[in-house]
Structure 1
């Protein structure tokens, strides 16, 4: 039986991949809330134009038939945001607009609300031998993570005592075809055979391939045990920065030279240049415990890390993004 889905962020990195996958493998009906039209939208996708993440008043009757809301939309984390001034803007989009949509869903008797949050709710890094878990006390550091935590808490308060089930998913860094930002920069550097100063880096980081994240969201849409739970999601195979470089190099057919530059020296230089955020991601560890996913949902990622990186690099080459 087809599922009736309302999705936000349908033109974004995660949302667009989820939309394509659902349309490819099912006859589910989708309402896509978007700030712009979606070209060549399949017949089972109805695009509703909205200036925010809520349903326009004239389209509210559409919510009455919705089974699940998948809220992928957000004000994404920006590397150069001023943390002293941007928190309110993150709150306006990630908290207030999210709650407006959630209240509409409760009023329309929507069965389930899936909120795509962020591992930044847990924090920025993990110490050696420790992994973040879904049961940890949140310790967000930056405005984006704070806004995501606040949205989670307000959603949990809203649905308490109502019929609507809430599922919260906190992905780690997502990579896949069309990836941007630091991951794309790293692929470009490796593709150009530029030596990289990572030989002495000894970290471990969790990643999630876009295809695995999409499949996990699809599972959470229908699995009874997902209700009222928070999930951290990764590929289940953590990599060091040199290990990630090695896998990307193999996928590109390149040989990358790693230079043994002291990590403390690079961190100091980055601090002087005001780029400490980048070194945190390259040199520190961030690992997550995903055992809850297999225990509750019998989840196993369908794609390996090698497959995910190969698909990402293949798309990079095909799109001529070198």
Structure 2
């Protein structure tokens, strides 16, 4: 099995889980020539992900590719043309890898996409599913959607099976960005104006996502399908912070500031997108995977939060 993005947040967790399926051998792609991986994974050095990447000998004795590498969504974009940069890596790089894999006789290509393909927000109780019309709004989501379309076209052309998995926010040991910031605030006992937010958001624990990915490398029914990934328990931002505080052993100090007021203040200081992520709803329906693949997320939300809090 070939895994890209092996040193990333998701990829590093996938190595352990993928080592338990198939023949147990994992070839882990990295830019670091000195990288050493656990669980017997073999390092395969590449010079980045693009349409020019050399994949010579990468697919020797490989029948499944799990593609977790990507140019990820960034909060403070510096590129002059962000969409072009996302396309260069997430579309051109992905499709070049997939074409090389198909030519080498790889049987299945598992692509870690994103719920951002579906959109940025849902109405409470109206979760995104695999049958919804894609509506990506930012360059990252657009690039993931274009990559998905290219992969399914390649599957029809070559016969290589393609599996697409769309997770929402992933949390677990090593998580960064806003999730890490919230844990730090809670550890310090900082009062947060987030006690009166009644939205609904889906998350997926890192171990739950890794479990679904591993299942999708092998299950016959996974081929040429899109699958949503989620823990199966949606929470408001206020509920998440309280349960995160329990996992950290520190009570969450939440002030009941109305969501409309919080949103207005964030908008005034140019942080409307941040307010949307805090106050808006984004629900994901993963029942298709449970129904058709027999997938049951192995971790509860509380256990996932405890692992994130412990960092392991």
Where on the TM-score scale, by shorter chain, does this alignment land: which range? over 0.9
Instruction: Tell me by how many angstroms 1:24 deviates.
Output: 6.5
Q: TM-score, normalised by structure 2?
A: 0.94
Distance verdict in 2 for CA 1:259–1:233, change over 3 Å: same
1:146 aligns with 2:133: no
- Provide the residue aligned with 2:88 in structure 1: 92
* SS of structure 2 residue aligned to 1:113: strand
CA offsets 1:199-236 (integer angstroms, 9 cap, x no match): 22110100000010111100000000000100010000
CA offsets 1:51-72 (integer angstroms, 9 cap, x no match): 1237964x62341421100000
Distance verdict in 2 for CA 1:142–1:103, change over 3 Å: same
Q: Partners in 1 of 2:43 and 2:113 — Cα distance?
A: 23
- Provide the residue aligned with 1:31 in structure 2: 27
2:245 to 240, 243, 249: 249
Distance verdict in 2 for CA 1:27–1:162, change over 3 Å: closer
- Provide the residue aligned with 2:37 in structure 1: 41
Aligned length: 311
- Provide the residue aligned with 2:265 in structure 1: 269
Q: TM-score, normalised by structure 1?
A: 0.92
Instruction: Tell me by how many angstroms 1:43 deviates.
Output: 7.3
Q: Partners in 1 of 2:4 and 2:260 — Cα distance?
A: 42
Name structure 1 gaps, 5 residues minimum. 317-322
Written as runs of structure 1 = structure 2, the 5 A alignment for 1:241-320 is 241-315=237-311
1:213 to 209, 220, 226: 209
1:116 aligns with 2:112: yes
Name structure 2 gaps, 5 residues minimum. none
- Provide the residue aligned with 2:6 in structure 1: 10
Q: Partners in 2 of 1:167 and 1:143 — Cα distance?
A: 22
- Provide the residue aligned with 2:70 in structure 1: 74
- Provide the residue aligned with 1:196 in structure 2: 192
- Provide the residue aligned with 1:235 in structure 2: 231
1:160 to 139, 156, 161: 156
Instruction: Tell me by how many angstroms 1:113 deviates.
Output: 0.1
Residues 196, 259 of structure 1: 8 Å contact kept: yes
2:57 to 61, 65, 76: 61
2:174 to 169, 173, 178: 178
RMSD over equivalenced CA pairs, Å: 1.9
Distance verdict in 2 for CA 1:23–1:228, change over 3 Å: closer
Instruction: Tell me by how many angstroms 1:42 deviates.
Output: 4.2
Distance verdict in 2 for CA 1:292–1:38, change over 3 Å: farther
